[in-house]
Amino acid sequence: MSDTTFYFGRINFKHQLTGLHDFEQDSGDFDKIARIRQYLFDYVSSENPVYKDEDSIWRFGRCEQHEGQIIGKFGKVFPDQPMQFDDDLGDFVEAEEGDEIADVSLFVIFPEKNVIAFNRKRHIGHKQFMKSFSQGYNNYHNVPDGLIINPIKSSIEIEHLLQRASRVFSVDFDLVPTNPIRDEDMRVLDEPMRSMGAEEMRFYAETDGSLESDNEFIRSGFALSNNGYGDFKIGFEEDGENKMYDSRDKPATYETEEPDGLGGLRSRTDEIYEKANELIITEVDSESD
């Protein structure tokens, strides 16, 4: 069996947790994570197409809940791929000659961490998957820009970069507030965004010398970005050469044997969960909205 590449995204509800879903008005008996799981599962259970782009239609195949997680298939119907969507079965199946055909990714959602993992396919890149999934969700719930998915990056890669760099001469962060997960490092920049009611914040610093990369503001920017709450560019010097690192081009990935359908994915969720845990900070802030 061939290998496949899984990507990881942070599901960020932006203003939805206090808007569409009325989380602040929940009784104490209704768990927030259960409500997140409910709305996401309602969405992925849609029997109709959820998003249309220029040359294809996106829709869900078979989806199910498994030990508190949500697993399923998300794909697009378009020419020249050996899959098709069967309306009677409500799933993607092998195509016969002359049929309308599709390509499909497998995904698993961990609602307690607001994380989705999905595998890249030949005609489904990670940016395309995240855009189509989030746009479809917003269309389904009729809330423009209510949910976005940002790729999670590898904090280990950034640590290695900073160790190699003889100096850091610029940092440029483009951040969004956490919702609902954050840790102490995130809080430094997250608190001002939340107190201002900002939906995003730009933080830029530059020097002719060297920035202190362990400064609490820079550390907070990295913590937010690596955990899927924004992106950054860092200018640094290595071996006498000035270089630029752009996190948008460096999503965290995981290479593994491709699961055989939902059954295969179901048996691999623990493995994928462990990898997600390596990438993200998991402390839940009880004070978050």
In angstroms, the CA 2 to CA 188 distance is 43
Q: Are residues 245 and 165 in the same domain?
A: yes
Residue 160: phi, psi to the nearest 5?
Answer: -65, -40
* pLDDT (tens digit per residue) in 226-255: 888 899 999 999 999 999 999 988 899 999
Closest by CA to 11, choosing from 229, 173, 232, is 229
Q: In terms of domains, do 86 and 211 share one?
A: no
Residue 162 in domain: yes
CA–CA separation, 148 and 114 (whole Å): 11
In a domain? residue 133: yes
What DSSP string describes 248-265? GG-B-EEEEEPP-HHHHH
- In the numeric block, which tokens belong to residue 167? 């100096």
On whether the CB atoms of residues 87 and 69 are closer than 8 A, the answer is no
Let me know whether 143 and 161 are in one domain: no
Longest Cα separation, the chain: 65
Return the pLDDT at 69.
Answer: 95
Domain count, the chain: 2
Give CA–CA dist 116/149, Å, rounded: 9
Residue 76 sits in the same domain as residue 175: no
Q: Give pLDDT, residue 167.
A: 95
What local confidence, expressed as pLDDT, does residue 28 receive? Answer: 43
Flag whether 286 is in a domain. Answer: no
Cα-trace Rg, the chain: 20
Q: Within a domain: residue 289?
A: no
Same domain, 218 and 130: no
284 domain residue, yes or no: no
The confidence score (pLDDT) of residue 262 equals 93
136, 38: one domain: yes
Q: 240 and 183 in one domain? A: yes
* Same-domain status, 80 and 40: yes
Write down the residue that tokens 């630029």 correspond to.
244
Query: Is the same domain home to 101 and 162?
Result: no
**Domain identity same for 71 and 104:** yes
- Residue 196 shares a structural domain with residue 264: no
Answer yes or no: is 199 within a domain. Answer: yes
Residue-level pLDDT at 26: 47
Dump pLDDT digits (tens) for 173-232: 999 888 665 677 888 999 888 888 888 899 999 999 999 989 999 999 999 998 888 999
Q: Which pLDDT score, from 0 to 100, does residue 180 have?
A: 60
Residue 124 sits in the same domain as residue 244: no
Q: Which residues of the chain carry a pLDDT beneath 50?
A: 16, 18-30, 81, 98, 282-289
Q: Which two tokens stand for residue 161?
A: 């970069």
The range of the structural domain enclosing residue 228 comes to 155-249
Listed residue (125, 164, 182) closest to 245, CA to CA: 164
Q: What is the predicted pLDDT for the residue at 181?
A: 59
Residue 127 lies in a domain: yes
Q: With residue 69 as reference, give the H or E element that holds it.
A: strand 69-77
pLDDT at 85: 64
